[in-house]
Amino acid sequence: MRLPWELLVLQSFVLCLADEHTLHGPVFVQEPSHVVFPLDSEEKRVKLSCQARGNPKPHIRWRLNGTDVDVGMDFRYSVVEGSLLINNPNKTQDSGAYQCVATNAFGTVVSREARLQFAYLENFKTRTRSTVSVRQGQGMVLLCGPPAHSGGLSYAWIFNEYPSHQDNRRFVSQETGNLYIAKVEASDVGNYTCVVTNTVTSHRVLGPPTPLILRSDGVMGEYEPKIEVQFPDTVPTAKGATARLECFALGNPVPTITWRRADGKPLARKARRHKSSGVLEIPNFQQEDAGPYECVAENSRGRNVARGQLTFYAQPNWIQKINDVHVAMEENVFWECRASGRPRPTYRWLKNGDPLLARAGVHIEQGTLNLTAASLSDAGMYQCVAENRHGAVYSSAELSVVAAGPDFSRTLLKRVTLVRVGGDAVIECKPEAAPKPTYTWRKGRDVLRESERVTVSEDGSLRIVNVTKADAGSYTCVATNHFGTASSTGSLAVKGLCPHGLALSRGRTSVPMLSALTLLDGQDGGDATPETGTGHCRLCGGPGTPGGQVNRWMRSLEVKT
């Protein structure tokens, strides 16, 4: 935790170098992704990628399941250009959720979680299986019973050393691996072997053969369909994924399988059925594809129906992210982030990589964060996390809190403000300062007190209404905040009204000594320049004007009275 004065020095340093280099907190260029590592890989090394930019350059470390990875204590770990390398990975020690953590002088951000999983497929434990005996015409199920594994599996069967092809009578479930024969025929007698393949490693293992023989006590009679393969009551499907439903029935005669929506809507045109009709697939799944579905198994002896619900889910996706904010000390900060998703995402907030909790001055309500009267200790990196049970997304932003005493170097008071008697005068006072300063005014050396005629606005400007000659003089604005005081001075000049009947002519003219001479345009009273040669003349005397005469040489001009 930095002390306030350290933060102030850092902010000043930032302001000084901003023109040469843009200093900022860490921002991820590349975040880690999920990795499924084959245990039988020859490489024997896992790489989790991460890159972050920032100025100063961020330091990167890693967390595993919320705990820092100590690369100094385990020689298997190393961080190279931000990425984490794990040599000789171990599925017991190294499985879990990893996060990249980037830190520089402005704060810390954490990446999305990347899960490291290990793919493997062990061998079948049993070497032999019992003989299966069935009647001709009877339905049959041969169990696969895959061995211990991690990662996706695909299934196939071998019949007497040749691949067993699927049709309307034979079906291999990709959910269980089991082989289903709707109606056994004499040609089905033989040995059956389950073949299991890990879809990540491509490693394949064969189960022990299962002999199938026909019973000699007769042929199975006809019977109505019996649905042996059916989909669950609820099948969650991700947005954009392919929904897959399985359905298969035993029966004599061999049942036919048809699909339909149970709500009366037609099947989507993109829906496709496999040759056996035992599988319905809906690619690029969207919200409108969700709903109740039915599988109908039918033969001449009857029909049966299996029902289930396809539900739609979507990982969070940003609608509105948070952006960097730069505020003066004691100003309020408001952030809002919004994400779509199904189920609706919930939100949490992080500051410098750690959970941000509500407290005095910190109000959190789902996707909104309010900081009241920001202080230097509030500066840092903030993250909004939107998540549901299917995933999480992170949005990051930097909060810079500027603290500086008043400074008039670029906003001096106007040197002279000119106003006529009876008019209104406004002298602006706009120093640079953070937080906003308080203002006091002096006329000459005396503190100026507010009245009905003299007021100071919130932005520090001085306003004088119904100006008199007595208001002329020097005015000083004094600005003060926690970090210092500064002032700037300007003058107010007041123009009086001229006596009527006074005229100047070409050549030498004798006039009284007066305090001001103004040439005004004959039409609208605006000032005329000496080059125009034409104008009204208003000679305005001030207190103590000598009564004697003085000869002055005037430029050639015509004065109208």
- In tens, the pLDDT along 371-397 reads 999 999 999 999 999 999 999 999 999
Task: Show which of 176, 195, 221 is a domain's final residue.
Answer: 221
Confidence bin at 498 (pLDDT 50/70/90): low
What's residue 508's pLDDT? Answer: 40
> Is residue 500 one of the residues assigned to a domain?
no
Based on the fold, state whether residues 426 and 382 are members of the same structural domain.
no
Name the burial class of residue 106, with classes exposed (0-12), middle (13-18) and buried (19+) by CB atoms within 10 angstroms of its CB: buried
Number of domain units in the chain: 6
> Is residue 432 one of the residues assigned to a domain?
yes
DSSP-derived pairing of the beta strands 149-150 and 153-159: unpaired
Based on the fold, state whether residues 85 and 173 are members of the same structural domain.
no
Find the CATH number of the domain harbouring 305: 2.60.40.10
pLDDT over 60 at 99, yes or no: yes
Enclosing domain of residue 542? 508-559
Task: Show which of 82, 102, 120 is a domain's final residue.
Answer: 120
Partners of 473 in the β-ladder: 492
Based on the fold, state whether residues 257 and 149 are members of the same structural domain.
no
- Please give the average per-residue pLDDT across 407-414, as a whole number: 94
String of DSSP letters for 54-86:
EESPPEEEEEETTEE--TTT-TTEEEETTEEEE
What's residue 499's pLDDT? Answer: 52
Based on the fold, state whether residues 189 and 213 are members of the same structural domain.
yes
Residue 452 CB: number of other CB atoms within 10 A?
7
The mean of the pLDDT values for the chain is 86
> Is residue 141 one of the residues assigned to a domain?
yes
pLDDT over 70 at 560, yes or no: no
pLDDT over 50 at 108, yes or no: yes
Distance of CA 3 to the CA centre of its chain: 30
When computed from its CA atoms, the radius of gyration of the chain, rounded to whole angstroms, is 43
Based on the fold, state whether residues 126 and 206 are members of the same structural domain.
yes
Q: pLDDT (tens digit, 9 = 90+) per residue, 306-332?
A: 999 999 999 999 999 999 999 999 999
Based on the fold, state whether residues 298 and 309 are members of the same structural domain.
yes
> Is residue 25 one of the residues assigned to a domain?
yes
What's residue 126's pLDDT? Answer: 81
pLDDT over 60 at 418, yes or no: yes
* Tokens standing for residue 2: 């930095």
pLDDT over 70 at 269, yes or no: yes
Torsion of the alpha carbons at 504, 505, 508 and 514, rounded to the nearest 10: 0
Residue with the two structure tokens 């407290």? 359
- Please give the average per-residue pLDDT across 90-101, as a whole number: 96
Based on the fold, state whether residues 28 and 99 are members of the same structural domain.
yes
Task: Show which of 170, 197, 221 is a domain's final residue.
Answer: 221
Percent of the chain whose pLDDT exceeds 90? 78
What's residue 219's pLDDT? Answer: 92
pTM of the model: 0.73
Based on the fold, state whether residues 308 and 340 are members of the same structural domain.
no
